[in-house]
Amino acid sequence: MPMAASGKSAEARGQRPPGEPARVFHGGDLAAARALFPGAPEPWLDLSTGINPHAYPVGAIAPSAFSRLPAAADVAALEQGAAAAYGAARPAAVVSAPGTQALIQLLPRLIPARQVAVLGFSYQEHAACWRAAGATVRVVDHIGDLTAADINVAVIVNPNNPDGRVVPVADLLAVAAQLAARERTLIVDEAFMDVVRPSASLVPHLPDAGAIVLRSFGKAYGLAGLRLGFAVAAPAQSGRLRAMMGPWAVSGPAIAIGARALADDAWLEATRLRLDAAARCLDGVLREAGLELVGGTSLYRLAASREAAGWFQRLGRAGILVRPFPDRPHWLRFGLPGSPDAWARLCHAFGVTPRAPAPVA
Amino acid sequence: MPMAASGKSAEARGQRPPGEPARVFHGGDLAAARALFPGAPEPWLDLSTGINPHAYPVGAIAPSAFSRLPAAADVAALEQGAAAAYGAARPAAVVSAPGTQALIQLLPRLIPARQVAVLGFSYQEHAACWRAAGATVRVVDHIGDLTAADINVAVIVNPNNPDGRVVPVADLLAVAAQLAARERTLIVDEAFMDVVRPSASLVPHLPDAGAIVLRSFGKAYGLAGLRLGFAVAAPAQSGRLRAMMGPWAVSGPAIAIGARALADDAWLEATRLRLDAAARCLDGVLREAGLELVGGTSLYRLAASREAAGWFQRLGRAGILVRPFPDRPHWLRFGLPGSPDAWARLCHAFGVTPRAPAPVA
C-alpha cells in the first residue's frame, strides 16, 4: 500500500526523533496524502477516518471556558452527563480524559500485565501501547482465545474497527466473568458505539462485569479535535486513572461542549438515522464500483477488492483519501462523505451513478 | 486556614472516590469558596490563581480545529513556534502537552528516581507526583542541597510560585552540571517565565545543560482552560515524553490559538508592561492595608500578615477569593484584578484608597 510505504520511509529517512518508538499508522494525515499525490485537486476529501462529518454544533463557548482552570464541579457534571448518556449506574464510575487515546496510553500502567490478548484484526493502538509497556501481545481471531490461562488482560474493540463486528453482550459478560474469576481484566473499547448500537454496550453491566469500558466523544459527535473520551469502571480503577492524569486533564471547551452534546438526545437520534442512510448510500457506491462489502459501522464502511491498491491510487489522484491497511492489502475503509459535493466527487472518482443520501429536513 | 480545613473535610466526608490519592490544594475552586462564604456577593472575584486576567484574544477558531483529528504538521508548527518564542535551538526539542500538569504527571515515568529534591517552599504538584510514583521527596531550602549525593532528580520552579524567587541562570547551569556529571537530572518549571523575566530562562542553554524545562502557555496568555504546555529537553527525552502521551495529545483549539499567540511578540511585550503596572498597583493596595510584601511575580503577589486568616475571611465575605497556604498560615497570595470594578472591590474590601492601574491605550 502506498501510504504504508510512505509512513515507513519517513522513519527510514530519520525524520522520527531519536528515542521515540515507531508510530502506528493512522488515517487523517493529509500532509502525507499531499506528498503522495502532489497533483491532486484541493481541497482534499478526507474519507480516511471514522469521524462523523456532521459535527455537533459547537455554538458559542463562554470565554471563561478558555480562560479559567476547569472547575472540579464542571468536570463532575460532564461525567454525570456521560454516565446518563452511556447508561452507567453507581457504583460504576465515569472518568473523563483528553481523548480515548490518552486512556489507552494509561491502561498498561493501571494494570501491569505481562500477557495481553487483543481480538483482531483491530485498531492497532491497543496492541502498540501494551507492547510499548513491555507486555507480550497476541492478536487472536477467536473470542475463546481471550481467556487462555496465561492471559492477564483481554481487549475487544466493540463494534470493531475496521470491520464492524459486534460481540453480543452475553458473550462479553461470559468472557469478563471467566477473566474476573482469575483476577484478570477485560477492556472493551466502545469508540464507535454511540451511533451504532447502544444496546450492545457493556456499560450498564458495570461494575459487576468487572470490565473497563472506553467511550469516545469525538467520533460520533464529529469533534475529534476537541479531545474528549471516557473510561467507565469500578470506582477504584476510575479513581486511579483520574489520579494518573492529575487535575485539569480535560480542557474547558471540551467540558462545555461535551456536557451540552451528551444531554442532547434528539441530536443523537437524528444523527443515527442520518448516518444509517449515508452508510447505505455509500454501500451502493462501493458495490456499483465492484468492491465487496466486508463490514463496518454507520461511521465507516470496509470494502475488499483485488484492485484495492489501484483504487487507492485512483482516488488519491482525485484528491480523495481513504484508509488502507498495510496488513490487509485488499482492504480499504471509507468514511462518510459529508456534503453533496463530497458525494459527487466520490461517485465521479469511482465512475458510478451519482447519488447522495436524502437531505436532512 | 479555612480553605485547607474545607479541603480536608471533603475528603473526610468520603467524597473522594476510593482508590484515589489525596489531592493537592489549588486555587480557583469557587465552589469551595461559595460553600465557605454562602452569603458572599456574586459574581466572585477570583484572585486565587496566578493567571493573567487579560486573556489573549481567542478570536475565530476554524471549525476544522474542533472536527478533525489534530494534524501532525500543525503540532510541529506549534512546537516550532514555541521553540522560537522560548529561545530553544536544535538539537533541543520541544514537545507539546495538554497542560504543564500533564507533563508533571509523566516526569516520574520518564526518570525512575528514588530520591528527589524540590527547592521549596513551592508549587506542590511536583512533590506530590514524585511521591505518588514511590519516590522519597525532600523539600530543601537551599540550592546547594539539590546536589546531595543521593539525589536522582532536582526540581526548581523558576520564578518560584508563590514567592517569585528567581535562581540566576549561572546557578542553574552549575546545579545542572553537577547533577549531569552523575547522570542525574535537573527539572526547571518555568511556568511563570514568559511575562516575568525571559532572560532568566534556561531554555537557550538546552540541551547542553542536560536539564528539562517546562513551560506553561495558559498562565501568561490567560487561557488556562485551553490546556497547553511544553517540555524542552534533549531529543531523546522529548521523544519519550511524546511517545508516553501518544498521538493527538493536544486539542485542535489549543494548537490553533497557541500557534497564533506564541508568534505575537507585540501582544506579549504590551502584556509585560500592563502586568508590571498592575503588580505595582496591587503592591500599593497590600501595603496600605498593612500587609508585608514577601515577593511574587507580575502575575501574583505574595504577602504576609499575622492577620492573614482574618483577611482571608473578610475578603471571602466580600466575594473575593485569595490563595491561602495551609503550611504557611501567615501568607496570602493575590492574583491581579482584571477590571476597574475588580480593583474597586478589592480596595473597598481592604478599606484602602481606591486605585487601579492606568488603562491600556
Residue pLDDT, tens place only, B325-346: 999 999 999 999 999 999 999 9
A50-95 residue pLDDT tens: 999 999 999 999 999 999 999 999 999 999 999 999 999 999 999 9
Span A237-241, average pLDDT: 97
What per-residue confidence (pLDDT) applies to A136? 98
What per-residue confidence (pLDDT) applies to B104? 98
Span B147-160, average pLDDT: 97
Q: Which residues of B touch A16 (CB under 8 A)?
A: 239
Of residues A215 and B18, which shows the higher confidence score? A215
pLDDT band at A25 (very low <50, low <70, confident <90, very high): low
Helices (H) and strands (E) in chain A, counts: 12, 13
Give the closest residue to B68 by CA, choosing from A52, A272, A138: A52
What per-residue confidence (pLDDT) applies to A20? 39
Contact B197, B166 (CB under 8 A): yes
Count of residues in chain B: 361
Q: Which residues of B touch A30 (CB under 8 A)?
A: 71
What per-residue confidence (pLDDT) applies to B7? 36
Which candidate in A16, A66, A214, A244 is best for mutational testing of the B interface (most B CBs within 10 A)? Answer: A66
Nearest to A66 among B58, B73, B237 (CB): B58
The C-alpha of A115 sits at a distance from chain B's nearest C-alpha, in angstroms, of 20
Chain-chain contact of B104 with A246 (C-beta, under 8 angstroms): yes
Chain-chain contact of B72 with A29 (C-beta, under 8 angstroms): yes
Do A30-54+266-350 and A64-263 share a fold? no
Chain-chain contact of B249 with A70 (C-beta, under 8 angstroms): no
CA separation for the pair B5, B11 (Å, rounded): 10
Span A312-319, average pLDDT: 97
The answer on pLDDT for B248 being more than 70 is yes
B294-322 residue pLDDT tens: 999 999 999 999 999 999 999 999 999 99
Contact A345, A70 (CB under 8 A): no
C-alpha cell at B287: 501595603
Nearest to A239 among B17, B51, B254 (CB): B17
Give the closest residue to A238 by CA, choosing from A81, A70, A83: A83
Give the closest residue to B175 by CA, choosing from B130, B215, B125, B140: B140
Q: Average pLDDT, whole number, for chain B? A: 92
Q: Which residues of B touch A109 (CB under 8 A)?
A: 109
Contact B97, B241 (CB under 8 A): yes
What per-residue confidence (pLDDT) applies to A24? 58
Contact B169, B51 (CB under 8 A): no
The answer on pLDDT for A126 being more than 70 is yes
Nearest to B225 among A72, A125, A252 (CB): A252
Helices A235-245/A100-110 angle, 10° precision: 110
pLDDT band at A2 (very low <50, low <70, confident <90, very high): very low
Chain-chain contact of A223 with B66 (C-beta, under 8 angstroms): yes
- B250 phi/psi in degrees, rounded to 5: -105, 140
Nearest to B225 among A19, A67, A102 (CB): A67
Residue indicated by cell numbers 511521591? B131
The answer on pLDDT for B48 being more than 80 is yes
The C-alpha of B65 sits at a distance from chain A's nearest C-alpha, in angstroms, of 6
The answer on pLDDT for A187 being more than 70 is yes
Span A248-275, average pLDDT: 97
The answer on pLDDT for A6 being more than 60 is no
C-alpha cell at B283: 503592591
Nearest to A251 among B227, B235, B240 (CB): B227
Chain-chain contact of A238 with B66 (C-beta, under 8 angstroms): no
Of residues B17 and B27, which shows the higher confidence score? B27
How many CB atoms sit inside 10 A of residue A237's CB? 24
Q: Which residues of A touch B238 (CB under 8 A)?
A: 17, 19
Percent over 90 (pLDDT), chain A: 89
CATH superfamily name and code, B30-54+266-350: Aspartate Aminotransferase, domain 1 (3.90.1150.10)
Q: Which residues of A touch B58 (CB under 8 A)?
A: 63, 66
What per-residue confidence (pLDDT) applies to A361? 62
Of residues A309 and A29, which shows the higher confidence score? A309
Span B251-277, average pLDDT: 97
The answer on pLDDT for B1 being more than 80 is no
The answer on pLDDT for A18 being more than 80 is no
What per-residue confidence (pLDDT) applies to B330? 98
Q: Which residues partner with B293 through β-bridges? A: B303
What per-residue confidence (pLDDT) applies to A14? 33
Chain-chain contact of B23 with A247 (C-beta, under 8 angstroms): yes
Q: Which residues partner with A333 through β-bridges? A: A302, A323
The answer on pLDDT for A299 being more than 70 is yes
| DSSP type of residue A76 | H
Q: Which residues of A touch B71 (CB under 8 A)?
A: 28-31
Domain ranges of chain A: 30-54+266-350, 64-263
CA separation for the pair B9, B13 (Å, rounded): 6
Chain-chain contact of A105 with B246 (C-beta, under 8 angstroms): yes
Q: Which CATH architecture has domain B64-263?
A: 3-Layer(aba) Sandwich (3.40)
Span B39-65, average pLDDT: 96
The C-alpha of B223 sits at a distance from chain A's nearest C-alpha, in angstroms, of 4
The C-alpha of B62 sits at a distance from chain A's nearest C-alpha, in angstroms, of 11
The answer on pLDDT for A183 being more than 60 is yes
Span B93-97, average pLDDT: 98
Nearest to B242 among A20, A49, A129 (CB): A20
The answer on pLDDT for B348 being more than 70 is yes
What beta strand segments (E) does A158-222 contain?
A: 185-189, 212-216
Percent over 70 (pLDDT), chain B: 93
Q: How many Cα atoms occupy the beta-carbon half-sphere of A10 within 13 Å?
A: 19
Q: Which pTM value belongs to this model?
A: 0.93
Span A317-324, average pLDDT: 97
pLDDT band at A27 (very low <50, low <70, confident <90, very high): confident
Q: Which residues of B touch A238 (CB under 8 A)?
A: 17
Mean pLDDT is lowest, of A49-58, B28-37, B52-61, for B28-37
What per-residue confidence (pLDDT) applies to B21? 39
